[in-house]
């Protein structure tokens, strides 16, 4: 049995792109070792993230995420057990919508591919639908 958490948060104003990239690198390394998959979407100083894996590991990670001072207003969008993860082979995907219009269009295209590649059984799950709805809402403002 797996566990999924999706949350939204606001980045601290001084959290630079370089620091975000470093955070992502560390997350990929950690998640791969812990059997965690996930995705971070960043736009207008806002994050939406999904993390999935073993329940105890996910709850421990989410506790650390909520205490991280690089962001604030951490809001849980959904938290629930699942039979399988949405994506089997991701340690941490990242989609950045803070660039030029051309870069944002490219990120949007990659994100659409990411959604299309979700495990087919889970595309109607509450976790998938919550993620997709909130991401579309977030990036619709760009």
For residues 72 and 10, is the Cβ–Cβ distance under 8 A? yes
Backbone angles phi, psi at 98, to 5 degrees: -115, 15
In the DSSP assignment, the letter for residue 121 is G
pTM above 0.85, yes or no: yes
Least-confidence region, from 9-13, 64-68, 75-79, 90-94: 90-94
Which residue in the block uniquely carries the two structure tokens 């039979």?
Answer: 83
Distance from C-alpha of 35 to C-alpha of 42, rounded to nearest angstrom: 23
Among 16, 8, 3, 4, residue whose Cα is nearest residue 134: 8
For residues 41 and 135, is the Cβ–Cβ distance under 8 A? yes
User: Could you give all domains of the chain from N- to C-terminal order, each with its CATH number?
Assistant: 2-139 (3.30.70.100)
Classify burial at 34, counting beta carbons within 10 Å of its beta carbon; exposed 0-12, middle 13-18, buried 19 or more. middle
Which residue in the block uniquely carries the two structure tokens 């650390």?
Answer: 64
pLDDT digits (tens, 9 = 90+) for 12-25: 999 988 999 999 99
Q: Is the pLDDT of residue 62 over 80?
A: yes
pLDDT digits (tens, 9 = 90+) for 77-104: 999 998 888 877 666 888 899 889 999 9
């Amino acid at each position: 049995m797996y566990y999924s958490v999706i949350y939204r948060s606001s980045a601290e104003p001084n959290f630079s792109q370089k620091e975000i990239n470093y955070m992502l690198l560390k997350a990929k390394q950690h998640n791969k070792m812990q059997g965690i998959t996930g995705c971070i979407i960043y736009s207008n100083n806002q994050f939406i993230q999904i993390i999935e894996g073993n329940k105890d590991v996910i709850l421990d990670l989410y506790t650390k995420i909520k205490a991280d001072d690089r962001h604030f207003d951490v809001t849980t969008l959904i938290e629930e057990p699942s039979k399988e993860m949405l994506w089997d082979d991701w340690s941490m995907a990242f989609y950045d919508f803070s660039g030029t219009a051309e870069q944002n269009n490219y990120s949007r295209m990659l994100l659409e591919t990411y959604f299309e590649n979700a495990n087919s059984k889970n595309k109607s799950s509450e976790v998938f639908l919550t993620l997709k709805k909130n991401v579309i809402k977030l990036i619709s403002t760009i």
